[in-house]
Structure 1
Amino acid sequence: MNHLGILAHSAEGASLCFQEFCRLGGQLGPHEHPDVSLDCIAMARSMPLWDSGDHVGIREILAESVRRLDRAGADFFVCPDNTAHMALEAPGDAFPIPGLHLPEVVAERAARDGRGRVGVMGTRYLMDGPLYPRALGKRGIEAELPGPDDRALINRVIFDELVNGVFTDESRAEFVRIIRGLAARGCDAVALVCTEIPLLVSPDDSPLPTLDSTRLLAAAAMDVALEKAPLPQWRGGPFG
């Protein structure tokens, strides 16, 4: 079995990925799962750099976590933070261990499910960025974004509430309203690509089928850990 390293950027999303990975390990037997290590440098170190657009600076912070995971014995890593992949793709030295690319994992599942137009909900950095239009687009899937006011609301809830472990009925109702609007615009699924959103909006809550990036990543990591899928090749920088 391969040893998984989880590169945490925000605690809530990384914790969910860790818990889901360990839960999936139950297929091996009671209390079983492949080895897993988690490393987390406080997101406060990166937030000013996100606001200034310094992806190279953020990459160096995240790279330190990858180096520590390598020293812990991890064979590969995942980062359960979609927005962080904008920084992981920035120029820099190759990471010492390879990683799964989260937007590619989500887009591949959308393609397997036969989706044609997918709503994208995440941080403002992600929704304004190229990751999901590119990953979905190369599979012939359209990416649909909420309107500007709703993007601002989603971003506020993520950073004021979700990353701090706050999940309210009011915010859930607003997210469901936004998903309903995406459905009205022809979306046949919604990608929950802030890894904390699945803690707020369950599949039962959503008017559309959900692409839960956190749990999809954990499942893909389990396949690699159990050698059902090959070790990834990506070591940072532009994907592909």
Structure 2
Amino acid sequence: MMQMIGLIGGMSWESSAMYYRLLNEGVRARLGPAASARCLLWSFDFAEIKALQHRGAWSELTRLMIGAARHLENAGAEHIVICTNTMHRMADEIQAALSIPLLHIADPTAQSIRAAGLTRIGLLGTAFTMEQDFYKGRLRRQYGLDVLVPDDADRQSVHRIIYDELVAGEIRPESRALYRDIMARLVARGAEGIILGCTEIMLLVSPEDAEVPLFDTTALHVQAAVGAMIGPPR
């Protein structure tokens, strides 16, 4: 029987909607045209989450995330998926509070990179994801990846476009051009591929925007969730 996935979303709902669509498309592709995903969604008001993030109120955010995960577990979820990269900052604390698995977004991403034979990878995401160690450190320690991030000015641009535009559903050609330039600068520094390490970035850029492979964390996370729900492809 298909297992129940608990989704912690709303951060932002633009990418959470993509999670829901891709999850159902993945199940349908595996199980037939009438099949759809057994899932529960806890959706935050991202305005509140954004304010706490930029205040550095990570203890309060951890409390909120653990509460959401426990509600989903109590409602019958058998796996938890956090529909955002940044909030994996407290993934270890959330997992410790649960008796069901949390499917970490960095793991299928890193596995896909290693399967492609790459070891030096560029990372785009929020400033929190690019600058703090919770994400880069996992990629280095568990998968041996050499992670490059943009310089300070480029990090500010990537972060601003995510929070000011993408979470509001705004897709601007000039922002796509800027991301292309930032990715090209990472490639010039030796990046063999680029992680789209914010679940909204895939709304803005696509594989033809870079000279190297792009690793879309949203799509890779969903593939892992489908596998957890119904098992690996035969």
Both proteins in one fold, TM over 0.5: yes
Residue 33 (structure 2) pairs with residue 14 (structure 1): no
Residue 187 (structure 2) pairs with residue 183 (structure 1): yes
Alpha-carbon shift at residue 69 of structure 1 (Å) = 1.7
1:162 aligned partner: 166
**Structure 2 residue ranges without an equivalent (≥5):** none
Partners of 1:15 and 1:96 lie apart in 2 by 27
1:4 aligned partner: 5
Offset from partner CA, 1:102-132 (integer Å, 9 cap, x none): 1122112211211121000000011111133
1:234 aligned partner: none
Residue 211 (structure 2) pairs with residue 210 (structure 1): no
1:117 aligned partner: 120
Could you tell me whether the CA contact under 8 Å between 2:66 and 2:94 is conserved in 1?
no
Amino acid at match of 2:4: H
Cα root mean square deviation, aligned: 1.8
2:42 aligned partner: 39
Cα 1:216/1:52, change in 2 over 3 Å? same
**Structure 1 residue ranges without an equivalent (≥5):** 230-240
Partners of 2:12 and 2:100 lie apart in 1 by 21
Alpha-carbon shift at residue 48 of structure 1 (Å) = 2.9
Matching residue within 136, 152, 165 for 1:133: 136
Offset from partner CA, 1:174-232 (integer Å, 9 cap, x none): 10111111111111100001000011101122222011000000000000000339xxx
**Per residue, is there more helix in 1 or in 2?**
2
Cα 1:46/1:89, change in 2 over 3 Å? farther
Could you tell me whether the CA contact under 8 Å between 2:95 and 2:102 is conserved in 1?
no
The DSSP-based 3-state class of the residue aligned with 2:6 is strand
Alpha-carbon shift at residue 54 of structure 1 (Å) = 2.4
Cα 1:202/1:133, change in 2 over 3 Å? same
TM-score normalised according to structure 1 size = 0.89
Number of equivalenced pairs: 229
Offset from partner CA, 1:139-171 (integer Å, 9 cap, x none): 221000111001000000000000111111111
TM-score normalised according to structure 2 size = 0.91
1:73 aligned partner: 76
Partners of 1:198 and 1:51 lie apart in 2 by 23
Partners of 2:100 and 2:40 lie apart in 1 by 13
